[in-house]
Every structure is written in C-alpha cells, then in structure tokens.
C-alpha cells in the first residue's frame, strides 16, 4: 500500500508493543482462546481437527475446566495465526512466562536487522521508501521519502543526501496515511481518491482486527470518506496513488516487505514499504522532486 509522501510531523509516534492490543489483558485464557477462534471463523470442531485435539478438551480449555500446557498454546496459536504479542498474552493468562521478546530497531541486539532494513531503504533511492509499524506510523525513511514529503507540504526540506536514513526529525511522529485523508490540501491532490480509499480501508481493516493503533486509523479514515459507492469499473491489477503536481499526474504504487521467520513481537511487525513510479512521466517527475531540483 502506498503511504503518503507528505505525512510529516503529524502526531507522536506509537511504538508497537504488547500494549497495542484489542483484547483486554485481564481476560482469562479461555476467553482469549474463544475470541481468537471466533475471530478466525473456526468452530470448535474445525479448530480441534486442525490442532489434532479432541473437541472435549478444547471445550474444557475455553470454559476453564482444563489448564493448557505451553505446547498446547503453541499449537493452537499457530493454527489460529495469533500475533506474537497476543501469544505472550495468552501464555501469561495461563500462568506461564512470555516466550517472545520485544526488540526495538534501536537495540544493539537488532543491529543486523537494522542494517538490513537500512540497506533496503538506501538502495531504493531515488524512489521513496519507509518503515512503518502496524498503525502506519513512520519509523524511518530514506531521503527520497523526506524530500517528497517536504515538497507536498511546501516546506524547505533538509539538504538532499541519498546516503542518509532519517530516523528522527522530520519523520518522527508522522503517519503514512492519515494526513492524506484528514488534511484537505493533501486530499485534494488525490485524483483517484474513491479507489485508493477503498484499498486502504481493506488493508487497514485487516490490521485493525489485532492492533488498536490500526483500529484508530481505520475509524479516522472512515469518518472522512464515509460509505464508498461500489465501483462499476473493474479495478486494475495494482491500485496506485495518483497525485496532482501542478497539473501533472504523479502515479505511485508500492510493495511491502516483512521480516521472515521473526520470533520477536516488535520486529515481526516491521514493514518496509517501497514506492515506485507507475509510468515514465511519473518516473521523471519523481526523480526531479527527490533530487531537490523542483
């Protein structure tokens, strides 16, 4: 999903942590298990079959008549695809120690991960690239993203530096999506707002099922766009973000990369978004802006 190039300095950053959950931490293991089973649209029978346990034992776990082992929790949460932060919550609710650590990208133990992420950001220049958490708060970005953001806000950006990864100002506290919908000057630039908004609502809606920060973003976008009409025109294979730049269209599409096989609460939620021009005209226009020549 294409993040907003102009979303600089909107709000205080929200770190991804175990507190960013939808279910209350005080819930019993049985209530948490039932909630995730229903959320993933499993019946007790279907979950029992997938997890290779009896429906009777599963029923006992949900009503509190049986206490789960660490191995049983691992099996059930794997089948239900429970996020790691919530797996820790379920372990605690069963009286067991959390299993998955929470490592920030700034931590020394995450240096190898941070270096890999920075490698991706720097190699993507002159195209924008950024790192976002599950609420689309910007964690870090390359210089092209910063220059494009400053251009759309009409502000003086820092000196261009293709070898710089921005981690503090001006990306700190910004959100990649909300200003596009909440700020009229930015929203008015979007040439395909209904189609782009529909795609954004779908993606954010999926994240909102398990993350309270995404749930807030979803509610705020819905307040702006309201109920979107069904499009009679078939969607293209990739829905871009088409922005007006002094009468010229700047059309971008994006890819999203996540860390594979991560067993860490925070690092498993890190997403690297890389943005691309959708046509040669947009390519030339984007390069001109990110090089600071406009």
| Residues 6 or more apart in contact with residue 228 via CB below 8 angstroms | 194, 197, 198, 201
Instruction: Classify residue 71 as exposed, middle or buried by CB count within 10 Å of its CB (0-12, 13-18, 19+).
Output: exposed
Omega before 247 cis (within 30°)? no
Tokens 């390519």 correspond to: 283
Q: Which fold has domain 108-290?
A: Beta-Lactamase (3.30.450)
CATH 1.10.260.40 correct for 29-93? yes
Comparing 52 with 157, which gets the higher pLDDT? 52
In CATH terms, are 29-93 and 108-290 the same topology? no
d(CA 144, CA 127): 6
Q: Does pLDDT of 103 surpass 50?
A: yes
Comparing 294 with 103, which gets the higher pLDDT? 103
CB 174 within 8 A of CB 151: no
CB 146 within 8 A of CB 4: no
pLDDT for 15 = 36
| Residues 6 or more apart in contact with residue 156 via CB below 8 angstroms | 150
Indicate the pLDDT class of residue 292, thresholds 50, 70 and 90.
low
Give the largest CA-CA distance in the chain. 69
Residue 287: enclosing H or E segment and its boundaries? helix 280-290
Q: Does pLDDT of 198 surpass 50?
A: yes
Can you give the residue ranges of every domain in the chain?
29-93, 108-290
pLDDT for 4 = 53
Q: Does pLDDT of 12 surpass 80?
A: no
pLDDT digit string, tens, across residues 15-49: 333 334 444 445 899 999 999 999 999 999 999 99
| Residues 6 or more apart in contact with residue 40 via CB below 8 angstroms | 80, 81
């Amino acid at each position: 999903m294409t993040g907003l190039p102009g979303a600089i300095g909107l709000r205080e950053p929200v770190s991804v942590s175990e507190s960013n959950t939808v279910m209350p931490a005080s819930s019993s293991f049985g209530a948490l298990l039932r909630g995730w089973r229903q959320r993933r649209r499993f019946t007790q029978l279907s979950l029992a079959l997938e997890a290779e346990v009896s429906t009777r034992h599963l029923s006992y776990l949900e009503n509190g008549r049986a206490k789960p082992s660490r191995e049983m929790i691992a099996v059930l949460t794997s089948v239900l695809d429970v996020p790691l932060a919530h797996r820790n919550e379920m372990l605690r609710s069963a009286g067991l120690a959390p299993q998955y650590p929470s490592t920030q990208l700034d931590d020394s133990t995450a240096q190898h991960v941070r270096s890999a992420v920075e490698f991706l950001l720097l190699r993507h220049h002159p195209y924008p690239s950024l790192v976002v958490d599950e609420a689309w708060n910007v964690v870090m970005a390359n210089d092209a993203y910063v220059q494009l953001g400053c251009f759309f806000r009409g502000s003086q950006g820092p000196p261009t530096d293709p070898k710089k990864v921005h981690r503090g100002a001006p990306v700190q506290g910004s959100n990649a999506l909300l200003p596009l919908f909440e700020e009229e000057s930015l929203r008015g630039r979007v040439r395909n707002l209904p189609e782009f908004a529909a795609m954004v609502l779908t993606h954010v809606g999926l994240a909102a099922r398990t993350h309270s920060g995404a749930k807030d973003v979803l509610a705020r976008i819905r307040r702006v766009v309201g109920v979107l009409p069904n499009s009679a025109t078939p969607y293209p294979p990739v829905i871009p973000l088409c922005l007006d730049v002094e009468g010229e269209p700047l059309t971008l599409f994006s890819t999203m990369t996540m860390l594979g096989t991560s067993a860490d609460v925070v690092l498993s939620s890190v997403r690297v978004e890389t943005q691309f021009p959708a046509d040669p005209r947009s390519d030339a226009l984007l390069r001109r802006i990110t090089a600071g020549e406009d």
